[in-house]
């Protein structure tokens, strides 16, 4: 075998290995064991339960699906797409611009703090896993979970559509876990909600990834109000 053939084989094998690892990298990225503290946030759900807006399994589903389809698919997913593309080309200007846009889109201080803190935490994890570009975001004021999630997906060669579905799944799983504790719901109810999530996520992904720049944006008044009132809620389990 010639030297050229050996080098070609090594390069091909390495590329195939990275591609093969992509699904496993995604599982690690969306795992509840990822040490970013996502379990500490409810994104306003805690107040919604306190106020009686969410009382049972059906109400929890309406709250979660409403956000998934009307907020995340309209804001987070199209931004995930743009961050992903920017990291693919190392476009620092686009990353900074979309980070500022995302910050400005947060409707309450707790929601902004949640996104920033999760982003910084994910940056620390990714830095420890060898993604050097994440290091600068560990203390960045404009850090966001969406941006760092996109960075990981880009560097680990996770296809965008798969990454977007994983992003929504991780969010839905965290919301369901919070609902199980807060409403409270039984574990079977929680599994029914996750089962239903799987049916809604593909449509939400298709919607979010099809939006043009001028269409990006969401306004969820109920979630914003819940988040604002959560700041002064007397008894709290969650940070948002």
Whole-angstrom Cα distance, residue 29 to residue 24?
9
pLDDT of residue 239: 78
Whole-angstrom Cα distance, residue 126 to residue 231?
30
Per DSSP, the residues of 144-194 read -HHHHHHHHHHHTT--HHHHHHHHHHHHHHHHHHHHHHHTT--HHHHHHHH
Whole-angstrom Cα distance, residue 227 to residue 95?
27
Question: What is the residue-level pLDDT of the chain in tens, covering all 240 positions?
Answer: 554 443 344 444 445 566 789 889 999 999 999 999 999 989 999 999 999 999 999 999 999 999 999 999 999 999 999 999 999 999 999 999 999 999 999 988 989 999 999 999 999 999 999 999 999 999 999 999 999 999 999 999 999 999 999 999 999 999 999 999 999 999 999 999 999 999 999 999 999 999 999 999 987 788 878 888 888 877 888 877
pLDDT of residue 201: 97
pLDDT of residue 233: 78
Whole-angstrom Cα distance, residue 201 to residue 73?
9
Spacing of C-alpha 25 from chain mean position? 15
pLDDT of residue 4: 42
Per DSSP, the residues of 208-219 read HHT--GGG----
Q: Is 208 exposed, middle or buried (0-12, 13-18, 19+ CB in 10 A)?
A: buried
Written as six digits, the tokens of 85 are: 């593309």
**Percentages helix, strand, coil for the chain, rounded to the nearest 5?**
75, 0, 25
Closest to 201 (Cα-Cα) out of 148, 145, 158, 163: 163
pLDDT of residue 185: 95
Vertex 232: Cα angle to 226 and 235 (nearest 5):
95
Neighbours of 17 (CB within 10 A): 9
pLDDT of residue 143: 97
pLDDT of residue 7: 39
Phi then psi for residue 55, to 5 deg, are -120, -20
Sequence-separated (6 or more) residues with CB below 8 Å from residue 175: 42, 43, 45, 63, 64, 67
Say if residues 45 and 65 touch (Cβ distance below 8 Å).
no
Record the pTM: 0.90
């Amino acid at each position: 075998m010639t030297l050229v053939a050996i080098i070609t084989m090594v390069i091909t094998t390495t590329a195939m290995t990275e591609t093969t690892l992509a699904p496993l990298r995604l599982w690690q990225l969306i795992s509840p064991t990822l040490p970013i503290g996502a379990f500490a946030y409810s994104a306003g759900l805690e107040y919604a339960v306190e106020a009686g807006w969410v009382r049972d399994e059906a109400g929890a589903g309406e709250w979660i699906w409403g956000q998934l389809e009307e907020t995340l698919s309209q804001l987070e997913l199209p931004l995930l797409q743009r961050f992903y593309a920017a990291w693919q080309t190392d476009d620092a200007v686009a990353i900074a611009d979309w980070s500022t846009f995302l910050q400005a889109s947060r409707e309450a201080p707790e929601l902004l703090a949640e996104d920033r803190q999760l982003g910084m935490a994910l940056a620390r994890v990714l830095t420890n896993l060898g993604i050097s570009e994440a290091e600068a975001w560990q203390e960045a004021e404009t850090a966001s979970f969406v941006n760092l999630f996109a960075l990981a997906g880009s560097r680990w060669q996770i296809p965008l559509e798969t990454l977007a579905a994983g992003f929504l799944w991780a969010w839905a799983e965290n919301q369901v876990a919070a609902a199980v504790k807060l409403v409270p719901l039984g574990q079977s109810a929680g599994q029914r909600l996750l089962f239903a999530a799987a049916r809604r996520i593909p449509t939400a992904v298709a919607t979010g990834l099809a939006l043009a720049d001028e269409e990006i944006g969401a306004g969820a008044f109920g979630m914003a109000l819940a988040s604002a009132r959560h700041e002064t809620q007397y008894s709290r389990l969650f940070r948002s």
